[in-house]
Amino acid sequence: MTEHRKLARNALQLALFEIDEDGKRTNTIDLYDIAPRFVFYTSNREAGRYLDAVTREFEHAGKKYVLTPKPARVIRPDGSQVDEFPGEREQIAEEVLRRLAVDRGRLELVDHDTVLLRFSLNEIRAELERVHHSHRLEEIQEALMILHGSIAEIVRIDQRTTKLLSSSAFPVLAMRSRDDEDGETLLQFNPLVARALRQLEFRQVSYECLMRIGNPLSR
């Protein structure tokens, strides 16, 4: 395929992902959104900081998988360190970012495996307030760092053991200083999201309804 055709195909894939005229829809990603990546009830911490490993089995399209989420090590402004799994706060933050991604011209498809999104922390905070999930700036920053630092390993186990993925939600995350809420922030979406976008394995859902669901498991 010539470079011109590749660019044209990439532009079409982005246009299909971004179809949302009224800001009330988002996209759900095939295997990625089925995987139970979020941990809403954590075990006791060792010495108040370290979390036990978590392993979960799930099925998708008649195939069996095992997911092992690994917590992120968070260094807080006071210098303290703690392990954290992505939880409800991170789930909501990722949905908000996915919602921003359907706005025209927000995504950049660099190659087959790299999808970038540029935004500001203030955009996330404003959208969280609009959907009644307000968080302080430092909480938003920590949520992004957990989504960046927590690794999800997915292995297929039904007929053979095959590692499909070992990556965080955002393998690349570039933020400015902690107090710069209007500066540009850049992230790279998970490779499964990039693959779904490339292969058109996504579909629209109501973002407004999704954000009104109170139970994180139901969401």
Which residue, among 118, 141, 117, has the nearest Cα to 128 in the 3D structure?
Answer: 141
Whether the pLDDT of residue 10 is over 80: the answer is no
Mind listing the pLDDT tens digit for each residue in 97-115? 999 988 888 888 887 678 9
pLDDT (0 to 100) of residue 182? 75
pLDDT (0 to 100) of residue 5? 47
Cα–Cα distance, 152 to 200 (Å, whole number): 23
Whether the pLDDT of residue 50 is over 50: the answer is yes
pLDDT (0 to 100) of residue 134? 86
Q: Phi and psi for 86 in degrees, rounded to 5?
A: -65, 125
Cα–Cα distance, 16 to 126 (Å, whole number): 26
Whether the pLDDT of residue 36 is over 90: the answer is yes
pLDDT (0 to 100) of residue 179? 66
Give me the percent of the chain exceeding a pLDDT of 70. Answer: 84
pLDDT (0 to 100) of residue 107? 86
pLDDT (0 to 100) of residue 7? 44
Mind listing the pLDDT tens digit for each residue in 128-183? 999 888 899 999 999 999 999 999 999 998 777 777 889 999 999 998 766 667 77
Whether the pLDDT of residue 8 is over 60: the answer is no
pLDDT (0 to 100) of residue 198? 81
Mean pLDDT of 45-71: 83
Whether the pLDDT of residue 59 is over 70: the answer is yes
